[in-house]
Structure 1
Amino acid sequence: MRDSDRTRPAGRAMARRLFEQVRSHYFGLPSAARRAIGVGVLLGALALALAFGWSPFTTLIVTVLLLGYGALAMRFPRGAATVLVVAAWTWLVLAMVWTTAEPPALAGLLLLGPLAGCVAHLIRWVPPWATTLVALLPGALLTVAAGVGLLAATVALWGACGSAAVALAYRFMKARDVRAVLAARERPEPVRVRAREAVPQRPGQADGGAPPKITVEEALAELEGMIGLEPVKEQVRSIAASIEASRLRAEAGYATEPPMRHFVFVGPPGTGKTTVARTLAKIFYAFGLLRTPQVVEAQRADLVGEFLGATAIKTNELIDRALGGVLFIDEAYSLINSGDGQPDRFGAEAVQTLLKRAEDDRDRLIIILAGYEKEMSAFLASNPGLSSRFATRVRFPTYTPEELLAITEVLQARRGDVLAPDARPALLARYEDVHRRGLVDELGNARFVRTLVEAAAQARDVRVVSAGGTPTREELVTTTVEDVAKAFDEITARFRGYRRIPSLEEALADLDRMAGLEPVKRQVHAITAQLRVARMREEQGLPVQTQMRHFVFTGPPGTGKTTVARILGRIFAALGLLARPDVVEAQRADLVGQHLGATAIKTNELIDRALGGVLFIDEAYSLVNTGYTGGDAFGTEAVQTLLKRAEDDRDRLVIILAGYEREMDRFLATNPGLASRFNQRIAFPSYTPEELTAIAELLAEQAGDRFDEQARRDLAEVFTWVCAEGLIDGLGNGRFARSLFERAAMRRDVRLAAQDTPATPAELTTITSADVRGAVEELAGR
């Protein structure tokens, strides 16, 4: 570390925090907004120049330089102070150029400031801004003297260059002295910075190779350069401040424990966990708490052996390889693999070995466990030692659409590519769509962006080459809206359920087209209105009551419960309350396992499959089978798991329990949690004869067929009779109407195929009374 790192006063720390806040707000603005502000500043400067009679050209040059210096300071915070020194130098030289009789000679001094600043940043162990100031100060005096006529401009030019060279040489010698003093200083305290010359050789390091030189400022600058992740950056800055405070207490003579710790990184994939782990390694290394900034990355396969006993050996070898640096274990929860309901002895052995070494080697090793938050919480709860030794948790948030777009622009810039002007808003709209639907984590956050950038570049190359002729330089690097759309559609097509969501109007129109079910339609429209208003209130920052997410559908079979469930899923998806409109249909056999413990696993797997959409459980009352002596332990386990997930995942899942009314009432009464969580009930009535006739005619119309007049009268007569006799629920309501239509159409086809003359188009599409009566006799015989 440089001496300035050790003696930084509180005032400078406050100034740094203020600068970091300004920089955070700066990068929070879209690049288009930053450019617009820059243009506004230029126009304002020109307006002032015209108002006060200044030279517009000179004013424009000065303003552009100042804006450039400001952007440079935001992009490279470590050189912010140097930028200010160089900016002051530039201003002084320009002021003197306006007054001197030899402006070309003095104008040459404009290059001296940036050159001195660049050289100063190559001289370590002393602050670069101070080196730049010392190098330029004599030249500033000479420039002023030339400006007021006391000195020739040529003399001032060469004098400033010579004095800068001497000052830089002096600062280089002082830097060597500072480094020698720091290297020779004794450090009895445990948290003092260790001498870098004592670093042992690491694997892959050449004999006699010097360890890398990294400062805390450089490591934090890498972190600040990452897009988004503001909570993570704040937490890492706090960790660095804690280490610095511990070092200062030790230097003041207080007893201090080494500020080493182990971490848990939780968050979705592609949010920079591995990158931040490397930054943390550099920070601890820069403070002298680690011998190397090396990060060893591992997963379950790197720790677990093929037989008991081999796991401990394999885990110890991995930890030995990471000693002195950081061990990063991704998807750490996979070490406890209980997928088959049985304890994972190999994983448990790895965890026990890991815990022992985490304690024994805590002064020379940092371990980071990473993974999804819910899975990591369950993993840490599986062993008390994990929670106590891995107490520092860092949460990585999902990237926002604006941050995804910023990452896209950074990746494109690295490739030398650019987005077409109209491609940027189109891409932002697509990012907003996946964010609204909650699919950013599933797509992979920044990994998805990287894949998209590569696919869009490939689509552009194919388009440019296929067009023929010789493309221009601009065409070779410009990604258009069409390239982005093609790449986006290709990538998202691989993910389950990602497709265009029908609009709310389309979903409600399909509901209204259903025959009958007027009470159901009114209730679904009312639910939709409540959800829409709640969404509006939330967007305007108003308090919102807990929205209904889980439902009970009661009614006889064939009354459209599954169809309405699909429409409800489309409504929730259209309102942005679900990621996809998919409906996963299930019954008891899909939830209940064959032994205790397996049921919870099976139920959780089913729910995981339905996440982001609708889970529709038909005949849900069968989950509690009262016919078993001593109760239904398997069904009860399924219900308990279902209730927990209904609460835990209420923001990304809709569960619908369906069945006969009386049976569902008894089922809901078996557990108070069912009635409280499934408090929205929709009752489906039996169809009337008129509604059944309308269903049959609608089915015929969808198939391109029609009933003749007598056939329609026969249909009405049949449906009236079965409803009057109370047989319609047993026959399946709408299913009976479908079966009757399908049988009648089949009898028509058999009749036409048997006749000698070719059938006319009218005959091919008309179902007669004879066809209907034959179908009724066939179904009655069954």
Structure 2
Amino acid sequence: MSFDVIRGKTFEISADYIARMRGIADGIQRIDNHGGGVFLIDNAHQLFDHSTSPILEYLLEHIKEYRGRIVFIFSGYGDEPGQLFGRDPGVLNLVPHIVKLTDYSDEDLLRILVKFVKKRFRNDMQVEGGIDGLYSRILVRRLGRGRGKKGFGNTHAVESALLTVCGRQADRVCRERAGGEKPNLFLLTREDMIGPKPLDALNKSRAWQKLQNLIGLEDIKESIKSFFHRIHVNYQRELEEKKPIRVSLNQVFLGPPGTGKTTVGMLYGQILADLGLLSSGKVMIKNPSDFIGEYIGRSESATKRILTSAMGNVLIIDEVHMLYPGKRCGDRRKPDQYRTAVIDTLVAEVQNIPGEDRCVILMGYTEPVQEMLRHCNPGLARRFPIEDAFHFTDFNDNQLAQILDKKLKEQDLTATDLARQVASRMLSLARDRPNFGNGGEVDNILNRAKAGQQKRILANPPTELLQEVILEPEDFDADYDRILRAGRNCEELFKDVIGSEDVIAQLRGYQQVAEGMRMHDIDPRPHIPFNFIFKGPSGAGKTTTARKIGQIFYDMRFLLSAEVVECSVTDMVGEFDGETGPKVIELLERALGKVLFIDEAYRLGQSDFSIDAVNELVDCVTKKRFANKLVIILAGYEEDMNELLKANRGLSSRFATEIVFRHLSPEHCLVLLQQYIGRLGIQIPDLDGSPLGEARKAAIVQVFASLTKTASWGNGRDVETLAKRVIAHVFKSHTVKVSGSGGLAISFEELVPIMEHMLEERWRRGPALGQDH
């Protein structure tokens, strides 16, 4: 029936040249030349993109010009006119009539499917259960779950699904023919229509077998198995024509680096494809930088483009927490609108609906990702529920050793048993390092060993270069046998430290405990103190002892390095509320595998922020991240440290091991002075064993006794200052004193005035200890 509103019957569609002004003009001209007609502007929502706005303006002008001759129809997505036309009132005035088309129902989709099957195969194709039977109904119900979602294709979705069905049939026919069977080419089976039974397909999946063969990851394997069991339950429910339990293919993978997240993600995607849950199953790996645009609007378009290309595939967004700047570490920055745009677009485009032909996996470190999901667009947490996340953990020592053996085999390398043991010990220590790389750390250690092996064999005679190359212990660790020398090293380290007998005995005791426990295959770490309180006066050797403890704990294979990280309370305390905690954590992470020496620690109780630092320290030292993974030493004056420990019971209980340093005795001060000047060959010949020599020695000791009673006396530090004055006196003297052995010397008569001059200086600075001004 014709209404005779316009004279012409010409019909033009603009879809192929929507972005070309000339093409639209030509289409309008052709219609007008034929006396009028209909001009359909398909995908009209694209016209409202900034880049195509001139085309829209051109169309609006011609709508007015050709009114009564050409009917303009705009077709596109949008539940409301404003979504299709934007906010331009001129468009709504010129195009006032809105016809809203709804998605087809399941019954409609079933009729379309039946029609397509009959037409494609000329009524020759049979379908198991009937062409409109159970399996056809299941197929269209799966399609119908996308109804209402932007991009749902209705008829196009049925066409695409039928192509997938035909593809499955072709694969089945090929397999059956290869097995000697004669399959019916005009039969679509249950497996063709709705895919294989999930558990059957899972057992046949090569990707599933590869996943099972991965070292460790037992919890992950069990979680994935449980997930696919739910998929199988839904398959059975569909056969009973019950609604499936809501299961999303999208996942969150949380864990430290090198634990297999990307590898598992790739296998997971292939398994989904093997089960017919994804049409392709290819894996796309993207980083936040791939989504973030340079200017407003670019982030949204980049995100949409990536999500569109990921249809039918797995999209892995690695280090996803970088999309959220976070609130940690005192971050006071304003929200990043470019990153926020990416997250908002993900929320808008990714739906947790069954049958969605796309899997998005968010990957990152546990705490940052959890923070992101708590604080950013709440829709993201609904689409990627954190409670269903797959949690990857650090590999244990045995698993790291297996990974090492696997990589040695893959690279055709050989290592001696002792070399493998040394490598395993190094990996065990390396896990204390921040951002321990797990499998990546194995690669690093192996690469260093190969470099060390090359250096070693090049140093050998040429005849040995032709022999088989084997990795030796020294290739992994040049100092691998240090534990055998640990006891001897302890005495050697303290040989020049005066009055250190008690400290040596205490530290040597730790070495003996560690040796004994290792002989019985017991890990000594939990039984050796890692937190110390050093109490004592200035210059009594606290810092020196801390450095030596670093070497001792390194020799005992408790630390990755003998390095000492020295800091003050200022380095731990923030300037603003909320900054102190992150500063303490950052400091602890920097000292992992080392010694952290906090000097003048008594200042930790002198302000609100410093008290925050104490509380954070008390909390951290018992956490798995830090406990027994670094040596922490709090040092300060005895009385002040006692007050600090009294004020905080938690600190006292966690730093239960004390090493108390005393003032050097006058006799020890003299011995230390002789050590300092003796390094440059200077002697005090007047202090021989004669009665006169003993008397002179007693006189010098008496001056030292007076010095040690001054308020500012710094023990070893001041003895070193005195030694520098003695050395300067000896070398600037016009008549250098020579000892009987021909070396440099200073006499008793020269030494005492130098000491008395220092004593006068100290008296001027303040009274002796125990005296009033």
TM-score, length basis structure 1 = 0.63
Q: How does 1:186-225 map to 2 (within 5 A)?
A: 217-225=205-213
Q: Residue 582 of structure 1: which of 555, 559, 563 is its match?
A: 563
What SS does the corresponding residue of 2:179 show, helix, strand or coil? helix
Alpha-carbon separation, structure 1, partners of 2:332 and 2:560: 33
Preserved contact between residue 299 and residue 331 of structure 1 (Cα < 8 Å): yes
State the secondary structure of the residue aligned to 1:391: helix
Structure 1 residues 640 and 512: alpha-carbon distance in aligned structure 2, compared to 1, 3 A threshold: same
| Residue 262 (structure 2) aligns with | 274
Q: Give the aligned residue type for 1:779.
A: M
List aligned pairs for 1:444-463, cutoff 5 A.
444-451=437-444
Cα separation, partners in 2 of 1:287 and 1:697, compared to 1, 3 Å: same
The 3 A distance-change label for structure 1 pair 408 and 606 is: closer
CA offsets, 1:445-491, max 9 Å, x none?
3334445556666777899999999999x96xx53236x855x46xx
Which residue, out of 488, 498, 523, partners 1:515? 498
Matches for 1:299-448 after TM superposition, within 5 Å = 299-306=287-294, 310-337=298-325, 338-339=328-329, 341-343=331-333, 345-346=335-336, 347-348=339-340, 350-359=342-351, 363-382=356-375, 389-399=385-395, 403-404=399-400, 406-408=402-404, 410-411=406-407, 414-415=410-411, 417-419=412-414, 423-439=415-431, 444-448=437-441
1:655 Cα deviation after fit: 1.7
**Distance in 1 separating the partners of 2:630 and 2:459:** 45
Structure-2 residue corresponding to 1:646: 621
Q: Match for residue 716 of structure 2?
A: 734
Deviation for aligned residue 1:666: 2.4
Task: Select the residue among 646, 661, 666 that pairs with 1:669.
Answer: 646
Q: CA deviation at 1:687?
A: 1.4
Residue 676 of structure 2 is aligned to residue 699 of structure 1: yes
Alignment partner of 2:243 out of 237, 255, 262 = 255
**What is the distance in 1 between the residues matched to 2:187 and 2:719?**
91
By how many angstroms is 1:733 displaced?
A: 0.8
Work out the CA distance in 2 between the residues paired with 1:331 and 1:449: 21
Task: Determine the C-alpha separation between the residues in 1 that align with 2:659 and 2:448.
Answer: 46
CA offsets, 1:291-341, max 9 Å, x none? 322222223323334456654444444333334332323333333334562
Checking the alignment, whether the CA contact within 8 Å between 1:520 and 1:684 is kept in structure 2 is no
Q: Which of 610, 614, 627 is the equivalent residue of 2:595?
A: 614
- For the pair 1:769 / 2:748, whether they are aligned, the reply is yes
Q: 8 Å contact 1:556–1:729 — kept in the other structure? A: no
SS in 2 for 1:302: helix
Q: Indicate yes or no: 2:541 matched with 1:560.
A: yes
Show the counterpart of 1:138: none
Of residues 592, 608, 614, the one that matches 1:633 is: 608
Q: What is the alpha-carbon distance in structure 2 between the residues aligned to residue 690 and residue 740 of structure 1?
A: 15
Q: Is the 8 A contact 2:430 2:436 kept in 1?
A: no
Deviations 1:372-404 (A, max 9, x none): 445445555555766662333334344456655
How far residue 737 of structure 1 moved from its aligned partner, in angstroms, is 1.6
Whether the 8 Å CA contact 1:262–1:390 is kept in 2: the answer is no
Q: Distance in 1 between matches of 2:250 and 2:481?
A: 42
**Cα distance 1:215–1:517, how it changes in 2: closer, same or farther (>3 A)?**
closer
Distance 1:223 1:736, change over 3 A: same
Find the aligned partners of 2:553 and 2:736 in 1 and give their Cα distance. 55
Q: CA RMSD for the aligned pairs?
A: 4.4
Q: How many residues align?
A: 573
CA gap 1:503/1:312 in 2 versus in 1, 3 angstroms: farther
1:16-165 correspondence to structure 2 within 5 Å: none
Q: Secondary structure at the match of 2:490?
A: helix
Give the 3 Å change call, closer, same or farther, for CA 479–605 of structure 1 in structure 2: same
**Do 2:292 and 2:299's aligned partners in 1 also have CA atoms closer than 8 Å?**
yes
1:23 equivalent in structure 2:
none
Q: From the superposition, tell whether residues 779 and 462 of structure 1 become closer, same or farther in structure 2 (CA, over 3 Å).
A: closer
Residue 559 to residue 233, structure 1, CA distance change in 2 (3 Å):
same
* 1:337-385, Cα deviation, whole Å (9 max, x unpaired): 3456214612455445445544467734433333344544555555576
Cα deviations across residues 221-270 of structure 1 (Å, max 9, x unaligned)?
22133334344333333333332333233323332135324433333322
- Residue 281 of structure 2: SS of its match in structure 1? coil
**2:758 aligned partner:** 779
Asked whether the equivalents of residues 511 and 521 of structure 1 are also in contact (C-alpha less than 8 Å), the reply is no
- CA shift, 1:282, in A, is 0.9
For the 8 Å contact 1:400–1:435, the answer to whether it is kept is no
Looking at structure 2, the residues matched to 680 and 465 of structure 1 have their Cα atoms a distance apart, in angstroms, of 48
Distance 1:677 1:707 in 2: 47
Note closer, same or farther for the CA distance 1:621–1:750 as it changes in structure 2 (3 Å cut). Answer: same
Amino acid at match of 1:366: C
**In structure 2, do the counterparts of structure 1 residues 774 and 303 end up closer, same or farther at CA, with 3 Å as the change threshold?**
farther
Amino acid at match of 1:515: I
Structure 2: gaps (5+ residues):
1-169, 762-773
Q: Which amino acid aligns with 1:427?
A: A
Is 1:289 aligned with 2:277? yes
Whether contact under 8 Å (1:748, 1:767) holds in the other structure is yes
1:742–1:465: structure 2 CA closer, same or farther, 3 Å change rule? closer
Rounded to whole Å, the distance in 1 between the matches of 2:266 and 2:381 is 23
- The superposition leaves residues 38-87 of structure 1 with CA deviations (integer Å, 9 ceiling, x where unpaired) of xxxxxxxxxxxxxxxxxxxxxxxxxxxxxxxxxxxxxxxxxxxxxxxxxx
Distance 1:592-1:241 versus aligned 2 partners, 3 A rule: same
Distance 2:698 2:253 in 1: 66
In the aligned structure 2, how far is the partner of 1:178 from the partner of 1:750? Answer: 111
Deviation at residue 610 of structure 1 after TM alignment: 0.6
Distance verdict in 2 for CA 1:229–1:774, change over 3 Å = farther
Distance 2:221 2:313 in 1: 21
C-alpha deviation, 1:618, in angstroms = 0.7
2:361 aligned counterpart, secondary structure: strand
Partner Cα distance (2:237, 2:550) in 1: 59
How much has 1:612 moved relative to structure 2?
Answer: 1.6
How high is the sequence identity, in percent, across the aligned residues? 26
**Match of 1:741, SS?**
helix
TM-score by length of structure 2 reads 0.63
Contact 1:326/1:367 (CA < 8 Å) preserved in 2?
yes
| 1:555–1:659 CA contact under 8 A, matched in 2 | yes
